[in-house]
Amino acid sequence: MSRRPSLLRASATLLGTAAASLPLGALALDAYAGRAIASAFLAGACLAVLLASASLLLAAWSHDKREAVFLSALLGGVLGRLAIFGAAIAWVVLATRFPIAPFVAGLLSYYVVFQILEFRALQRLFGKRALPH
């Protein structure tokens, strides 16, 4: 059974959710709170989109690999995301004029939504992966 159509459908769900909600949310936030806050929120949300897409692709790539490779990819993905989160927040604080709170709010709010979508997509894609005891 080919996983490619399912992977494409799951990726399309993630990207479709982002494409449908980000522009409208950014416009509403711009009208309500101003351009700087909307831009910071949008930058954080876009980073969450990239991280969720990369995570989905990494999980799909590693699914049919040996258990050690699968678990290494899983752990590496989590640690990599934490490192990227930290680096992005440090970059916003040190190198940009973005307000930090809206950036972090955009990053974390979309990250949580995409984690839920990603988990459901991977559950549908692969079902339960049997690991040896």
In a domain, 21, yes or no: yes
The pair of structure tokens assigned to 59 is 């999980």
Q: What is the domain range of residue 29?
A: 4-125
The SS3 of residue 77 is helix
Q: What is the pLDDT of residue 132?
A: 47
* Domain assignment present for 57: yes
Inside any domain, residue 67? yes
Within-domain flag for 133 = no
* Residues ≥6 apart with Cβ < 8 Å to 114: 14, 17, 18, 48, 49, 51, 52
Whether residue 130 lies inside any domain: the answer is: no
Q: What is the pLDDT of residue 96?
A: 86
The per-residue DSSP string of 19-71 comes to HHHHHHHHHHHHHHH-HHHHHHHHHHHHHHHHHHHHHHHHHHHHTTS-HHHHH
Give the pLDDT confidence score for residue 85 in this predicted structure.
83
Q: pTM to 2 decimals?
A: 0.75
User: Could you tell me if residue 31 is inside a domain?
Assistant: yes
Q: Please count the structural domains in the chain.
A: 1
Please check whether residue 106 lies inside any domain of the structure: yes
Residue 2 one-letter amino acid: S
Return per-residue pLDDT of the chain as tens, 133 residues: 455 556 667 777 777 877 778 788 888 887 888 888 888 898 888 888 888 888 877 877 777 778 888 888 878 888 888 898 888 888 888 988 888 899 888 888 888 888 887 777 767 766 655 544 4
Residue 131 inside a domain? The answer is no
